[in-house]
């Protein structure tokens, strides 16, 4: 990739002022039956079934919600934002990978992770992490 191939910076998350649904992490029988998209399942099969066969169209609000989440994260990263350690995220992803870089909670330090599957908060201990600056 070349420096000149840099994508356009996203200054506003998609559908920031539009109608969108908060996207749930996990599907339920109810969400599947209603054709509600979730991060776990995406759009359910019912939304990919012809309407003539009993299917329902996907919700535009679900699509706006998904694109809003994605572009908000991209926007934060494009602005140079660095995420701090998050215990819930760490637990859900089996820990941070070796080489991950996270900011301290107050944003005054940057931590480099030295081990795989690390669930240790670098602000609480220096085990398995090194301070970059």
Tokens of 84: 């701090």
**CB–CB of 130/111 below 8 Å?**
yes
Q: Which domain holds residue 89?
A: 82-132
30 and 72 inside one domain:
yes
38, 40, 58: which is closest to 48 by C-alpha?
A: 58
Entry pTM = 0.80
Which tens digits make up the pLDDT trace of 11-68?
A: 899 999 999 999 999 999 999 999 999 999 999 999 999 999 999 999 999 999 999 9
87 and 42 inside one domain:
no
Q: How many domains, in total, are found in the chain? A: 2
Whether 28 maps to a domain, the answer reads yes
Whether 5 maps to a domain, the answer reads no
CA distance 104 to 93: 19
62 and 101 inside one domain:
no
């Amino acid at each position: 990739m070349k420096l000149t191939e840099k994508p356009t910076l996203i200054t506003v998350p998609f559908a920031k002022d539009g109608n969108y649904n908060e996207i749930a992490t996990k599907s339920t029988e109810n969400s599947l039956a209603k054709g509600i998209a979730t991060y776990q399942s995406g759009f359910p099969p019912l939304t990919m079934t012809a309407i003539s066969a009993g299917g329902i169209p996907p919700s535009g609000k679900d699509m706006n919600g998904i694109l809003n989440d994605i572009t908000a994260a991209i926007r934060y990263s494009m602005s140079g934002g660095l995420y701090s350690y998050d215990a819930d995220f760490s637990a859900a992803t089996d820990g941070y990978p070796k080489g991950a870089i996270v900011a301290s909670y107050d944003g005054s330090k940057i931590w480099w992770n030295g081990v795989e599957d690390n669930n240790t908060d670098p602000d609480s201990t220096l085990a398995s992490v090194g301070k970059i600056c």
